[in-house]
Amino acid sequence: MMHQFIYRLLFILTLFISAGCTKQEDKIITGNKPPPDNTLPTGLKANFINKSYIGLLGREPSEVEYSEAIETLNTANFNESSRTSVISAILENEEFFTRQFEIANNEMLSGLDTFEVNDIIGTFSFLLTQPQYEPFYEQLQYELNRLEEYKDIPERFLNNQLTIQGMHRICANNYFFDQINMGSLNFVIATYQLFLLRNPTEFEKTEGVKIVDGFTGVLFLQEANSKDQYLDVFLNSSDYAEGQVKQLFNRFLFRSPNTEESVFYTQLLKQNFDFKNLLINILKSEEYAGIE
């Protein structure tokens, strides 16, 4: 009897407790925003890091470099600021300067090596000691000075004593470039093709040849009358800046810039010819990062 009484009591208590509990309704809070998506694919970031190192330094990142870069990107969820930080760090690497010189040397001087340069320097230096070549001493010394300037590019470039613009000038103003592009006309055509990615117009060819040959001509609305002045005007022109923008778009985005992009980035470069700043602005973009 006692057991039955206890069972009934427990049953009654259970009913009482159930009746006293009220069901809570779900409430919807308006204005809530979901947390940011921090799940961008690691492969997207890895691709950005690898192609940036290969494009700027000509090699893949080391394990340490990759770890530092991926941490930077992860911390800020691969935003523009984090991409800028990664690109800026790569551009501070000494190998960046070596790579830029290598590109210019290959494109402009067919991969000229130190042995060839030293060989010609040795030949010209010897000729300067020979009396029969005295009528040519001035020209020989001129060529020697230009070759020594070429040899100094890597060190001066690395020490920030030479800009990319200055490097282009030296690579286009030496004995070997003249041998590859013999004659004033070929010299003019080569500068347009290499730097502007186009051929000169008939007017530009005529005026350019006049200037290089020492006569007064007009280039990009400016008068000049020597090869040095030709390069001064050419390498400070908006056309040169636009050509560099086109080259970087082709190299890193595999396309030509549209009109709006060409105007914007050309003006950006023309401000002070800061090539690193131009690179950062192109490579921090969502297009380069592969973000759709």
**Secondary structure (3-state) at 223:** strand
What pLDDT sits at residue 41?
A: 72
Phi/psi at 218 (5° precision): -120, 125
Each residue of 41-70: pLDDT tens digit? Answer: 789 999 999 999 999 999 999 999 999 999
Q: Alpha helix locations (H) across the chain?
A: 2-20, 42-57, 63-75, 80-91, 94-109, 114-127, 137-151, 153-158, 164-171, 175-180, 184-191, 202-212, 227-235, 238-252, 259-272, 275-283, 286-289
Each residue of 233-276: pLDDT tens digit? Answer: 999 999 999 999 999 999 999 999 999 999 999 999 999 999 99
Locate 201 and state its tokens.
Answer: 């117009």
The residue assigned the tokens 């006692």 is 2
| Amino acid at the residue 177 | F
Residues 6 or more apart whose Cβ sits within 8 Å of residue 84: 280, 284
Whether the CB-CB separation of 185 and 205 falls below 8 Å is answered with: yes
- Rounded CA separation 41/231 (Å): 47
Whether the CB-CB separation of 241 and 269 falls below 8 Å is answered with: yes
- Rounded CA separation 60/50 (Å): 6
Whether the CB-CB separation of 143 and 175 falls below 8 Å is answered with: yes
**Secondary structure (3-state) at 109:** helix
Locate 258 and state its tokens.
Answer: 């549209």
Listed as ranges, residues in the chain with pLDDT below 70 are 1-40
Radius of gyration of the chain (CA): 33
| Amino acid at the residue 280 | I
Whether the CB-CB separation of 128 and 141 falls below 8 Å is answered with: yes
